[in-house]
């Protein structure tokens, strides 16, 4: 399967973000002949205050980000793992941070709501409190795309290996983790964590990311970029640098199967007390 990761610099203009995603997907299909395309976290809207997020959020199935990705999947005959979008929750001030996946006919294959909330203090003293704006999901989600079972995760989920073990137990062959990793954490933790998750689950690990600057109120925040694909051995087989663009590679069923025969980790698990 030929896969492409889209690296974006989404900001607070939803229409412009969707247009940029459409243009990059069209480009990936034309240049790379992709079968599966992954977008980054919050590709439709990144930054702003809570009121801005609420205004940009969608009821699934009705909004412009959902319908644009559904139409693109159908038009190009590809799988689109639509990063994540802001999803309205009726009766709630908070939102879901939600991945949507469409098959080659435009049918919705899966939706995953980010489980782990990014409530941290960065090394420069910047405080992040994602739980003030977003409600965590509680479902472990996989879907089938031809010869592969894909597992879903988003950004800060990367730091919680139990989620990836749960995805492996549900049969994941490939894990997709759209992200908007911060520059300060990303430069030290991004690649090593992506490779670790690939190694311990013996899966391909596909991580499309945001890059560059965006505004959150009066603050300017930087995303790390460096979208990558790691193979089941933990080798990085495709990598973006800085800037908006596309990175592509092929994934192979036999690479997963060979790895799991050589090092049968799943069979060696024991329950610890």
* Catalytic-role residue among 155, 194, 202, 206: 155
DSSP summary character for residue 67: H
What is the number of other CB atoms lying within 10 angstroms of the CB of residue 216? 15
Phi first, then psi: give them for residue 216, nearest 5 degrees: -125, 95
Structure-block tokens of residue 106 = 């435009």
Q: Is 200 a residue of the active site?
A: no
| DSSP β-bridge partners for residue 179 | 209
Q: Is 114 a residue of the active site?
A: yes
Structure-block tokens of residue 247 = 């990175």
Task: Note the residue count of the chain.
Answer: 273
In this structure, are strands 174-176 and 204-207 parallel, antiparallel, or unpaired? Answer: parallel
Contact 4, 38 (CB under 8 A): yes
Q: Is 155 a residue of the active site?
A: yes
* Catalytic-role residue among 41, 58, 87, 202: 41
Q: What is the largest CA-CA distance in the chain?
A: 53
User: What is the Cα–Cα distance from 111 to 98, expressed in whole angstroms?
Assistant: 7
* Catalytic-role residue among 14, 53, 88, 114: 114
What is the number of other CB atoms lying within 10 angstroms of the CB of residue 187? 12
Any idea which residues carry the catalytic annotation?
41, 114, 155
């Amino acid at each position: 399967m030929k896969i492409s990761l889209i690296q974006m610099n989404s900001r607070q203009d939803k229409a412009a973000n969707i247009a940029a995603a459409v243009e990059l997907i069209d480009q990936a299909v034309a240049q790379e002949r992709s079968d599966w395309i992954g977008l980054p976290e919050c590709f439709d809207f990144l930054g702003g205050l809570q009121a801005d997020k609420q205004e940009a959020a969608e009821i699934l199935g009705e909004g412009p980000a959902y319908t644009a990705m559904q139409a693109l999947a159908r038009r190009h005959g590809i799988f689109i793992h639509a990063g994540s979008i802001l999803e309205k929750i009726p009766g709630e001030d908070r939102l879901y941070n939600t991945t949507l996946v469409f098959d080659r006919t435009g049918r919705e294959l899966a939706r995953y709501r980010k489980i782990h909330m990014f409530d941290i203090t960065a090394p420069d003293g910047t405080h992040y409190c994602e739980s003030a704006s977003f409600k965590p999901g509680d479902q472990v989600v996989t879907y089938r795309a031809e010869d592969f079972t894909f597992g879903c995760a988003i950004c800060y989920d990367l730091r919680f290996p139990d989620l990836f073990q749960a995805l492996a137990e549900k049969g994941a062959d490939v894990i997709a983790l759209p992200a908007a990793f911060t520059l300060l954490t990303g430069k030290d933790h991004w690649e090593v964590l992506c490779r670790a998750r690939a190694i311990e689950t013996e899966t391909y690990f596909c991580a499309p990311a945001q890059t560059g600057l965006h505004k959150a109120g009066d603050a300017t925040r930087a995303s790390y970029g460096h979208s990558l694909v790691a193979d089941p051995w933990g080798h990085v087989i495709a990598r973006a640098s800085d800037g908006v663009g596309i990175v592509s590679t092929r994934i192979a069923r036999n690479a997963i199967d060979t790895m799991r025969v050589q090092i049968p980790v799943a069979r060696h698990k024991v329950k610890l007390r």
